[in-house]
Structure 1
Amino acid sequence: MACVDDKEGLPERLKRRDRERQEAQEKRRETRERQVVSEEKADYFTETFNKEKASVEELLATCGPEQLEDASSRLSKLQVFVNDSLSFLPSYEVRQAQAALQRLQASLTDRREQLLPKKKFTFRSRKAALAEAAAVVPECNIVPAAEGAPAVVPESAVEPRCGFSDEDCQQLVKTASEINGQDVQLTRLTGCTVKLFGAPSTLHIRQVRDSLVLCGPVSSSVFIDDCSHCVFVFPCQQLRTHNTEECSFYLHVTSRAIIEDCRSMRFAPFTWSYPAIEEHFETAGLDKSKNNWSQVDDFNWLARDVHSPNWSVIPEDERRSEWDS
């Protein structure tokens, strides 16, 4: 029987095997190409990240007070770079990068405290202390000292800071002229409603309980730590939340939200509005068309194919849209 060279004359089974072999070769080739591309991206990430990390470390080691905001901005951009690279980085690379970012953030905090130390309680004459405190804190918070006794001036009265601290069940408001471009801090608040009408540079929220916080567009990052049973409403470039539970976020974020050591976190799109908010979006430089409110990275949950149990999306019929009541 003569040999048949024409493949069309081969039995169907042999032709099927030939197709399967070619398809397997093509899949192996595509897999190798994807691996090469991922390795190239990972190499670029490692080189770029390490270079910028070293640059920020050098800046923090030598900077003065006027350069702290530059260091903070560069650190925020480095976090955004990491967030944008999560899709191709292996989990151990992500952990190393985040650990390095946490060390940089700690160094920034230490450097800020060195260059801008907090003043402690100071004893002044009764009249001078009360006059200075009255210009900074509400009148209801000033407790007169006994006649002839030295007045104790609260730290917030000695060194005014942009924000609120140590308040219970209060309505707290800041205007754009007070917070635009500022580093705003909210600490140790319980049962409060906070409205920040403006575009701060950063927003730090720590040890806040059972409160509602509404803020205009934040040009860089919002940092939240050790909070519970709160509702947070704000636009920002980046959100990082630590050690927090039972909180809801109405969020506009242009990168990806990050949670760590958190549980029972719920997310929905940003819904607050006030007359000057469009102007404040421009002041903050935030892209209104880009909102990744439902893109949340849980650093305690590295399984990419299984949703983290620590956060969820607020159902549409449960979302709030009115905030003035």
Structure 2
Amino acid sequence: MDAAEEISKAEEFSDKNASKIHERIVKRQQLLAEGAERRKEARQKQTVAGESSEVFLEAFNAERAGLEQLLSGCLGAERTAVTRDLEQAAAKMAELQKLLNDSMMFLNQYEIRVAQSALQKLQASLSESREQAMPKKKFTFRSRSKAAEKDSAAPPAAPPAAPPAVTEVDGAAASSQQPDFSNISDQLLEKTSEEIQSRDVLLTHLTNCKVRLYGSPSTLHLKHLHGCEVLCGPVATSVFVDHCTNSVLAFPCQQLRTHNTSDTQVYLHVTSRAIIEDCRGVGFAPFSWSYPTLDQDFSASGLDPNRNNWSQVDDFNWLAAGTPSPNWTVIPEADRKTTWDP
């Protein structure tokens, strides 16, 4: 090889190396630019989230103050004015719940808990004001069973000698009022929207009953149910389930807490995340019950009908990251219940 060829190859090799070095420099610059852009977007998102959080808190606190003032004005007012104000307060409660539901994507967990606690206190004040202005009628239940129809002429059962003891469900006083249905077997039980709207509803110690709750209660407590089918309209805040076995439950809600429950199917619409604890054999599927005023009740509840986290379940007894909990499953589509009429 002569000197000219060696020089030519050396120049060619040098050009290739220079080209590779240039490509590496360009690629590195692109990566640096992309990283800087991602960091910029992240900062912008944090800023937007912070600003959105501030806007939410300002709006929420203003609406809450207005609602508290409205409820305080019910004390000592005439019945007509109280009835009007309570209807307005219930509508504002639904708007406030919807504001929270729509804002959860940019709120942190602490802000969500504080807002939920404020809503629960407001709901308790609303229920207390309603009770003072319009005392509830004595406890009754409706039944379509043939046995009940045959016994319709019989004298009504005597009321219990003493009110039931207060039962704690997930820290909430579930029976601070008379249960809506209690200690009943083998019957079809119903409540209308007028009977449960914006109320705390309690079902306890039912066996082989079919329950239909039409309307939008504030909370729903289900305790000691066996072999029951419970269908409920949109629940504005939380559903608490405790000691239920071999049952089928269906409801929309903002939050679900389930304890000590086994071999039960839950057809769920939930806008946060479902929580189970000390449970086994619980199956989940999307809510599929329907009735004529369901859309209206969704609107009254403040829940988002297009936001359903039915398959996002947290098991407090299962902390193995990356491994599914053995205590709950998704019900296969072929096995899901589609016919609900009794």
The alignment's TM-score, normalised by the length of structure 1, stands at 0.65
Distance 1:83 1:295 in 2: 18
- The 8 Å contact of residues 199 and 283 in structure 1, kept in 2 or not, is answered as no
Percent sequence identity over aligned pairs: 29
1:22 is displaced (CA, Å) by 2.1
Alignment-mate amino acid for residue 22 of structure 1: A
How many angstroms does 1:17 deviate by?
3.5
Residues 217-247 of structure 1: CA deviation (Å, up to 9, x unaligned) = x36637533532342234x5x3444464425
Q: State the secondary structure of the residue aligned to 1:209.
A: strand
Distance, in Å, in 1 between the alignment partners of 2:134 and 2:94 is 20
Q: Does 1:179 align with 2:197?
A: no
Q: Which residue of 2 aligns with 1:67?
A: 85
- Distance in 1, matches of 2:63 and 2:323, equals 32
**Matches of 1:87 and 1:17, distance apart in 2:** 35
RMSD: 4.5
Q: What are the Cα deviations for residues 8-61 of structure 1, in whole angstroms up to 9, with x where unaligned?
A: 998344333332332232222222221222122112111111111212222222
Deviation of the 1:280 alpha carbon: 3.2
Q: Please name the residue that 2:169 is paired with.
A: none
Q: 1:280 to 1:166 in 2, by over 3 A?
A: same
Amino acid at match of 1:268: A
Aligned length: 278
Q: Structure 1 residues 322 and 90 mapped into 2: Cα distance closer, same or farther (>3 Å)?
A: same
Alignment of 1:194-205 (within 5 A): 194-196=210-212, 199-202=214-217, 204-205=220-221
- In 1, are the aligned partners of 2:273 and 2:310 still within 8 Å (CA)? no
Alignment counterpart, residue 40 of structure 2, candidates 18, 26, 29: 29
Are residues 271 and 98 of structure 1, via their aligned partners in 2, closer, same or farther at CA, if it must alter by over 3 Å?
closer
2:331 aligned to which of 311, 314, 319 = 314
Q: How far 1:179 moved relative to its partner?
A: 1.6
- The aligned counterpart of 2:236 is 221
Instruction: State the secondary structure of the residue aligned to 2:239.
Output: strand
State the 1:191 CA deviation. Answer: 0.5
Partner secondary structure for residue 337 of structure 2: coil
Question: Over residues 129-182 of structure 1, what are the superposed CA-to-partner deviations in whole Å (9 max), with x where a residue is unaligned?
Answer: xxxxx9xx9556735xxxxxxxx5569xxxxx99942232131243xxx72444
Contact 1:76/1:220, CA 8 A, preserved across alignment: no
SS in 1 for 2:293: helix
In structure 1, distance between residues paired with 2:97 and 2:137: 31
Structure 1 residue aligned with 2:166: none
Q: Which has the higher contact order (CA 8 A, sep 6+)?
A: 2
Q: Distance in 2 between matches of 1:299 and 1:93?
A: 23
Tell me if 1:114 matches 2:127: no
Determine the C-alpha separation between the residues in 2 that align with 1:47 and 1:76: 18
Look at both structures and tell me which one has the larger radius of gyration over its CA atoms: 2
Distance (whole Å) between structure 1 residues aligned to residue 313 and residue 255 of structure 2: 10
Larger deviation, residues 292-301 vs 21-30: 292-301
1:142 to 138, 148, 156: 156
The gaps in structure 1 that reach 5 residues or longer are 1-7, 122-133, 144-151, 156-160
Residue aligned with 1:20, SS? helix
Q: Please point out which of 117, 123, 126 is paired with 1:105.
A: 123
Task: Identify the match of residue 20 of structure 1 among 18, 31, 34.
Answer: 31
Question: Contact 2:256–2:273 at 8 Å: present in 1 too?
Answer: yes
